């Protein structure tokens, strides 16, 4: 997908939206539908109608971009995302993030469902992402670099914005919501990890494991957006509890979602 493709998609969105283009976008992982549905004055674009967008295929991921307001502040909500395990190419996984950048978004809030490698951060809890390990084997920045997006070798020593993460903690404290923090490791999936993999990841310093988010973060940092992230812990990772099911991730995702929705609303008010 070229720079021109990205700009053409952004132009299509701008032509079909009246109002202030938001500075902040949120990518909502599975289970956060109620937040998207609660947006005020939303203009809704189905990913199917956005030129070049990969279409998500997973249960619980709607595939819509909503441009509207939360707490009276302009925000874009991305309801659902494309995952590497669905078979999308590396460059496709970065496309929607680049479109957000072309729309003028400066702050990207990434959420996901994840398994926890720390017993104390159990199912239903939230974890702010302080750093990541890209164990997916994929990277959306592979290929000829277009300098109009960003440099060939982007610095990711602060992939996750520290100041904004501090603000998340401040909001969580005010709401009396426990917000753990830790390192997110991306595995490509679609299978959950083996217990041996989880033991290995623990020794590397991973605190949570999931199958998304890192591609969006890398693309966003490449083009200079600030990124903040929160994992909804849906389960303890493989070998730390009984068998894992997608149904279970949905159920605990729903519990974490109640807190995450409150936290995101407070964050919007704090930052915008
Ligand atoms: N592993 C990977 N992805 C996940 C998990 C997990 O345990 N839980 C939710 N998404």
Choose one of 121, 132, 186, 249 to mutate for the ligand 1 pocket test, by most ligand atoms within 8 angstroms of C-beta. Answer: 249
Active site residue 113: yes
Q: Which residues pair with 25 in a beta bridge?
A: 76, 108
Tell whether the model's pLDDT for residue 239 goes beyond 80.
yes
Separation of CA 211 and ligand 1 centre (Å):
7
Measured in whole angstroms, the distance separating CA 224 from the mean position of its chain's CA atoms is 16
Q: What is the value of pTM for the model shown?
A: 0.96
Separation of CA 95 and ligand 1 centre (Å):
24
- Burial 15-33, CB ≥16 within 10 A → b, else e: eebeeeebbbbbbbbbbbb
- Our count of domains for the chain comes to 1
Could you read off the pLDDT of 158-204 as tens digits, one per residue? 999 999 999 999 999 999 999 999 999 999 999 999 999 999 999 99
CATH number at residue 250: 3.40.50.1580
Whether residue 190 is preceded by a cis peptide bond, meaning omega within 30 degrees of 0, is yes
Choose one of 198, 207, 234 to mutate for the ligand 1 pocket test, by most ligand atoms within 8 angstroms of C-beta. Answer: 234
Two tokens at 15?
Answer: 């032509």
Size (the chain), residues? 272
Q: What number is the average pLDDT over the span 239-257?
A: 81
The closest alpha carbon to 215, from 136, 160, 150, 129, belongs to 136
HSE of 270 in the Cβ direction (CA atoms, 13 Å)?
20
Q: What number is the average pLDDT over the span 91-101?
A: 96
Active site residue 247: no
Separation of CA 244 and ligand 1 centre (Å):
9
Q: Select the more confidently predicted residue: 157 or 61.
A: 157
Tell whether the model's pLDDT for residue 241 goes beyond 80.
yes
Cα of first residue to Cα of last residue in the chain, in angstroms, is: 31
| pLDDT number for residue 254 | 82
Active site residue 86: yes
Neighbours of 104 (CB within 10 A): 13
| pLDDT number for residue 14 | 97
CA distance linking residue 153 with residue 15, whole number of Å: 34
Ligand 1 binding site (Cβ under 6 Å of any ligand atom): 113-115, 187, 192-193, 209-211, 234-235, 237, 244, 249
Cα three-residue angle 13-217-151, rounded to 5 degrees? 90
Measured in whole angstroms, the distance separating CA 101 from the mean position of its chain's CA atoms is 15
Active site residue 191: no
CA distance linking residue 189 with residue 262, whole number of Å: 29
- pLDDT, averaged across the chain: 94
Active site residue 211: yes
In the chain, % of residues over pLDDT 90: 85
Shortest-distance Cα residue to atom 3 of ligand 1: 210
Could you read off the pLDDT of 211-227 as tens digits, one per residue? 999 999 999 999 999 99
Beta strands in the chain (DSSP E): 24-28, 40-46, 64-70, 73-79, 107-116, 126-134, 179-186, 208-210, 226-236
Give the domain extent around 48.
3-271
CA distance linking residue 219 with residue 115, whole number of Å: 24
Could you read off the pLDDT of 7-64 as tens digits, one per residue? 999 999 999 999 889 999 999 987 788 899 889 999 999 999 999 998 767 665 579 9
64-70 and 73-79 as β-strands: parallel, antiparallel, unpaired?
A: antiparallel
């Amino acid at each position: 997908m070229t720079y021109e493709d990205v700009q053409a998609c952004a132009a299509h969105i701008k032509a079909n939206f009246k109002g202030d283009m938001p500075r902040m976008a949120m990518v909502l992982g599975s289970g956060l539908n109620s937040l998207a549905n609660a947006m005020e004055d939303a203009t809704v674009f189905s990913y199917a109608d956005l030129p070049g967008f990969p279409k998500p295929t997973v249960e619980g991921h709607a595939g819509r971009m909503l441009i509207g307001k939360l707490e009276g502040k302009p925000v874009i909500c991305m309801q659902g995302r494309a995952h590497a395990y669905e078979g999308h190419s590396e460059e496709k996984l970065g496309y929607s993030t680049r479109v957000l950048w072309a729309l003028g978004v400066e702050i990207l809030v990434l959420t996901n469902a994840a398994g926890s490698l720390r017993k104390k951060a159990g199912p239903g809890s939230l974890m702010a992402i302080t750093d990541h390990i890209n164990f997916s084997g994929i990277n959306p920045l592979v290929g000829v670099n277009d300098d109009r997006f960003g440099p060939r070798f982007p610095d990711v020593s602060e992939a996750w914005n520290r100041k904004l993460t501090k603000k998340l903690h401040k909001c969580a404290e005010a709401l009396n919501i426990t917000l753990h923090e830790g390192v997110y490791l991306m595995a490509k999936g679609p299978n959950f990890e083996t217990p041996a993999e989880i033991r290995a990841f623990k020794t590397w310093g991973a605190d949570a494991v999931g199958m998304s988010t890192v591609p969006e973060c890398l693309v966003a940092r490449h083009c200079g957006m600030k990124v903040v992230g929160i994992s909804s812990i849906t389960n303890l990772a493989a070998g730390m509890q009984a068998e894992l099911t997608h149904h279970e991730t949905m159920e605990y995702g729903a519990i974490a979602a109640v807190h995450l929705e409150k936290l995101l609303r407070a964050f919007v008010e704090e930052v915008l």
